[in-house]
Amino acid sequence: MRSGGATDSPTDRGPFGRAGTGGPPLVGSPHDLLAHNRRYTRMATQREVVITGMGVVSPIGNDMETYWDSMVSLHSGIRRLDLFGDSDIPTPIGGVVPEFNAKAVVRPRKALKVMSRDIQMAFVAADSAMKTAGFGESGIEPERLGIVFGADMIACELDEMVSAFRSCMVDGRFDFSLWGEKAMAELYPLWMLKYLPNMPACHIGIAHDARGPNNALTLAEVSSLSAIAEA
């Protein structure tokens, strides 16, 4: 309980500071945050969910240490977009992940052919979290290891759709009746696998031989929290 607004009891504090008050955030290391979250989880609920590993791919860092340092130093990841060259796009700025290369991490390597950039980033972040948690060395039974992944709808690359759309244009207008006949012939046969939101969980499960339940939740902004609750 709160008395006179002077202090906060432990149950008033969230994992990042005072809940709903804009209070001082926790500043330290990622390991401090994990320890703090474990204590908070025990206080907040009888059902414990322990976060033992974290991974990240973001505009301000592709590993936890870099990400954390950027956070506490108030470094912004918003910059001018250069993925579209000199094209005149309505919004020229955004959060872009720089210097990202999944080839050294994704396995088997041939899986890259059916991975969009979104799925590649998801795989790298999850793989880092698994390694941090020690799953590669734990010898856990594959049947006891499952994947619950929070995702969202994945937009396809525009350049992959150009020829398909052009094949359905008649006198400057798009003819929907031609889509099944002509457009499909212009697409990579496994094109759909690159953009299904359940595929990150599939690729992660295959790479780590996780034979337990495998599920993906597509709930936009709350997908990650829902995945933790589902686990």
Highest mean pLDDT among 37-41, 90-94, 203-207: 203-207
Pure H helices in the chain: 30-44, 64-72, 117-132, 135-138, 158-166, 179-182, 199-207, 223-230
Compute the distance between CA of residue 131 and CA of residue 43 in angstroms, rounded to an integer. Answer: 28
Given a cut of 70, whether residue 149 has pLDDT beyond it is yes
Given a cut of 70, whether residue 83 has pLDDT beyond it is no
Q: What is the DSSP letter of 61?
A: B
- pLDDT-derived band of residue 93, with 50, 70 and 90 as boundaries? confident
Highest mean pLDDT among 9-13, 93-97, 215-219: 215-219
The proportion of the chain whose per-residue pLDDT surpasses 70, expressed as a percent, equals 77
Structure tokens at 7: 């202090």
Give the model's pLDDT for residue 36. Answer: 64
Given a cut of 60, whether residue 108 has pLDDT beyond it is yes
Listed in sequence order, the residues at least 6 apart from 155 whose beta carbon sits closer than 8 Å to its beta carbon are 195
Collapsed DSSP state (helix, strand, coil) of residue 223: helix
Structure tokens at 66: 């870099």
Given a cut of 50, whether residue 186 has pLDDT beyond it is yes
Average pLDDT score over residue span 143-147: 94
Average pLDDT score over residue span 49-68: 93
Residue whose C-alpha is closest to residue 230's, from 130, 141, 146: 146
Average pLDDT score over residue span 195-205: 96
Given a cut of 60, whether residue 25 has pLDDT beyond it is no
This prediction has a pTM of 0.75
φ and ψ of 134, to 5 deg = 85, 20
Give the model's pLDDT for residue 90. Answer: 79
Mean pLDDT, the chain, as a whole number? 83
Neighbours of 148 (CB within 10 A): 17
Is the Cβ–Cβ distance between 67 and 61 less than 8 Å? yes
Tell me the angle at which helices 199-207 and 117-132 cross, rounded to the nearest 10 degrees: 40
Give the model's pLDDT for residue 11. Answer: 41
